[in-house]
Amino acid sequence: MKRQLTEEQKAKSAERKTKFRALVKQVAGMTDQERAHLTNKIGAIVTCEGHALSLTNTMLVITQNPVASMVGGFRQWLKAGRCVRKGEHGQMIWVPCGSNGTNSADPEISPVNEHDEVHFIIGTVFDVSQTESIPTL
């Protein structure tokens, strides 16, 4: 059963989405030179699993947290042996989701047909500075 959101939660969600869309417009309005300069200055941002973020997601993270270096989702950090500190606010990025559940880049493994589409949802990631090591018992 899906949890019903309160009016306050719906309002906060709408506000977050509005802010995120404004950030996306800000990044889209940057020239290629501005993006390249910022990326060269900061460097590539990678996930805790070692994958590099796309240029757009890198710009989104940098505009929300200029000191970010390595990011991951809540569960990704748990798998890596770290946990997000209580009260930390994450950075929003675009996360690709395939309509049929396959996101393979190899056409031999995942044949492309006219009905396959990639959709994007808003995901939240946290910088390594927002996490702490999980104590071993």
How far is 58 from 62, CA to CA, in rounded Å?
6
The per-residue pLDDT for range 81-119, each reduced to its tens digit, is 999 999 999 999 999 887 654 444 444 444 455 556 788
Predicted local distance difference test score (pLDDT) of residue 114: 55
The per-residue pLDDT for range 10-54, each reduced to its tens digit, is 898 888 888 888 888 888 888 888 877 777 777 778 898 988 888
Residue 126 dihedral angles phi and psi, to the nearest 5°:
-125, 140
Closest CA to 93 of 78, 71, 77, 76: 71
What pTM value is reported for the model? 0.69
Predicted local distance difference test score (pLDDT) of residue 118: 82
